[in-house]
């Protein structure tokens, strides 16, 4: 069901998000179209599932050892969001078909060692959480397929400690982690906010409330992301040109010193000063600029080349069309 078909009810339900400039009506519609997967066998599923449902995610796929055990939580989520589509399945079911079409996978069961390689190959971002031997709890993510400068989860593997935090700290972390993971998922889907989760481990000492933030580094010898494999093109994902595009452009713009959203703002302003049919050659950094700028330009009707590598930075060629959106 489209937002237009239920406009009054839809607008009222999500009014507090729609009024946010970072979301708006278009962002809320985007959330309603999103397909997110959850792998869980912990109470943390309750917080994450309810937060995502309440935010307006359109489809949630669940892998759980016993879906019947979470029937009450699913019913609660549907009460929060009557239009949500929830697809529960067992964790021992076929994985390939379950992953097909996912835009994001959230691992709540420290299952990332089994999921990471296949998510990397399928170009699916993966968010995960774990606790270490010191009682610190962490969340982090991997989308290294978008940018070779980003570390994947195998570059410096986090410890897998399946023992739970002692009560009552475990219950506290379940609420905090579930909320934070759902927030990071929404930020990814809408391309908003700080993106540190993709190259940092974000931690918390739940006994003291002290936060921690540790940078993760790319490992050139990583057994996963250092071995490029053919991957299918996915709508919205950035493909790299196999060779640099050699073409004389009408103008040049370097946005490597800028951060999102100013990267796109500077490009858009420069293009507005150019004539239809002229081309702009852009130099930009990896990570969020490389992911966001080409996609946003294409969404607004500009002709955009595939990016190419320029000694650790990236090049892009944009042609101004007669009537971009």
Residue 234 is assigned to a structural domain of this protein: no
- 184 with 86, same domain? yes
Instruction: Identify whether residues 209 and 261 lie together within a single domain.
Output: no
CA atoms of 152 and 150, how far apart (whole Å): 7
Would you say residue 78 lies in a domain?
yes
pLDDT for the residue 186 = 96
Q: Are residues 197 and 284 in the same domain?
A: no
> Which tokens is 183 given?
């927030």
How confident is the model over 82-89, as a mean pLDDT? 93
Q: Which domain holds residue 123?
A: 34-215
For the chain, what is the mean pLDDT? 82
Same domain membership, residue 277 and residue 208: no
215 contact partners, CB below 8 Å, separation of at least 6: 199, 200
Q: What is the pLDDT of residues 108-138, one digit of tens each?
A: 888 888 888 899 989 999 999 887 666 678 8
Helix 24-33 and helix 169-190, axial crossing angle in degrees, nearest 10: 110
Q: What percent of the chain has pLDDT over 90?
A: 31
Confidence band, pLDDT 50/70/90 cuts, at residue 41:
confident
Could you read off the pLDDT of 188-218 as tens digits, one per residue?
999 998 889 999 999 888 777 788 898 988 8
Residue 227 lies in a domain: no
pLDDT at position 162: 57
Residue 10 pLDDT exceeds 60: yes
Contact (CB, 8 A) for 115 and 126: yes
Q: Which of 21-35, 223-237, 271-285 has the lowest mean pLDDT?
A: 223-237
Instruction: Check residues 213 and 223 and name the one with the higher pLDDT.
Output: 213
Stronger pLDDT, 291 or 138, i.e. the higher one: 138
| Those residues with Cβ within 8 angstroms of residue 5's Cβ, 6 or more apart along the chain or in another chain | none
Residue with more model confidence, 245 or 313:
313
State the pLDDT at residue 28.
92
**In a shared domain, residues 193 and 258:** no
- Looking at the fold, whether 108 and 61 belong to one and the same domain comes out as yes
Residue 159 sits in the same domain as residue 265: no
Q: Does 191 share its domain with 297?
A: no
**What confidence score (pLDDT) does residue 203 get?**
86
Instruction: Out of 156, 188, 215, pick the residue that ends a domain.
Output: 215
- Closest by CA to 88, choosing from 54, 118, 45, is 45
In the block, which residue shows the tokens 């912990």?
A: 42
Residue finishing a domain among 215, 235, 270? 215
Instruction: Report which of 210, 219, 213, 287 is spatially closest to residue 256, judged by C-alpha positions.
Output: 287
- pLDDT of residue 301 exceeding 70, the answer is yes
Q: What is the pLDDT of residue 85?
A: 96
269 and 196 share one domain: no
Average pLDDT for residues 310-318, to the nearest whole number?
81
Q: What is the mean pLDDT of residues 158-168?
A: 64
Angle at 147 between CA 145 and CA 152, to 5 degrees: 55
Helices and strands (H and E) in the chain: how many: 10, 13
Q: Cβ distance 89 to 60 under 8 Å?
A: no
129 and 73: one domain?
Answer: yes
Q: Where a domain ends, among 169, 189, 215?
A: 215
Q: Do 110 and 174 fall within a single domain?
A: yes
Asked if 144 contacts 225 with a C-beta cutoff of 8 angstroms, the reply is yes
pTM, two decimals, is 0.67
241 in a structural domain: no
**What does the alpha-carbon distance between residue 317 and residue 300 come to, in Å, rounded to a whole number?**
15
CA separation for the pair 85, 274 (Å, rounded): 45
Q: Which of 29-38, 161-170, 289-298 has the highest mean pLDDT?
A: 29-38
Residue 204 domain flag: yes
- CATH number of the domain where residue 273 is located: 3.30.110.40
The per-residue pLDDT for range 237-282, each reduced to its tens digit, is 444 444 444 457 889 999 988 887 788 888 988 888 899 889 999 9
Higher pLDDT, 147 or 162: 147
- The number of distinct structural domains making up the chain is 2
pLDDT of residue 61: 96
Domain match, 210 and 257 both? no
Residue 25 lies in a domain: no
């Amino acid at each position: 069901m489209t937002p237009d078909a239920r406009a009054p009810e839809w607008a009222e339900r999500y009014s507090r998000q729609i009024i946010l400039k970072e979301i708006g009506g278009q962002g809320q519609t985007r959330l309603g179209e999103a397909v997110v997967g959850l792998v869980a066998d912990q109470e943390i599923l309750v917080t994450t599932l309810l937060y995502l449902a309440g935010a307006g995610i359109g489809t949630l796929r669940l892998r759980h050892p016993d879906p019947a055990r979470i029937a009450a939580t699913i019913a609660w989520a549907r009460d929060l969001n009557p239009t949500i589509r929830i697809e529960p399945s067992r964790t021992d079911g076929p994985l390939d078909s379950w992953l097909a079409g996912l835009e994001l996978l959230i691992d709540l069961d420290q299952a990332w060692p089994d999921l990471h390689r296949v998510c990397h190959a399928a170009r699916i971002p993966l968010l995960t959480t774990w606790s270490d031997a010191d009682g610190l709890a962490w969340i982090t993510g991997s989308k290294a397929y978008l940018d070779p400068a980003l570390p994947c989860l195998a570059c410096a593997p986090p410890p897998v400690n399946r023992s739970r935090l002692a009560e009552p700290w475990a219950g506290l972390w379940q609420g905090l982690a579930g909320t934070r993971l759902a927030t990071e998922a929404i930020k990814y889907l809408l391309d908003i906010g700080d993106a540190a989760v993709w190259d940092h481990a974000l931690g918390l000492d739940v006994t003291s409330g002290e936060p921690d933030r540790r940078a993760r580094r790319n490992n050139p010898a990583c057994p996963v992301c250092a071995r490029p494999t053919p991957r299918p093109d996915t709508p919205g994902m950035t493909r790299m040109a196999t060779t640099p595009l050699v073409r004389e452009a009408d103008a040049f713009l370097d946005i490597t010193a800028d951060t999102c959203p100013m990267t796109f703002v500077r490009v858009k302003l420069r293009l507005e000063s150019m004539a239809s049919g002229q081309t702009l050659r852009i130099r930009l950094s990896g990570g969020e600029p490389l992911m966001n700028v080409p996609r946003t330009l294409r969404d607004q009707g500009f002709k955009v080349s595939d990016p190419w590598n320029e000694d650790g930075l990236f090049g892009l060629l944009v042609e101004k069309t007669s009537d971009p959106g």
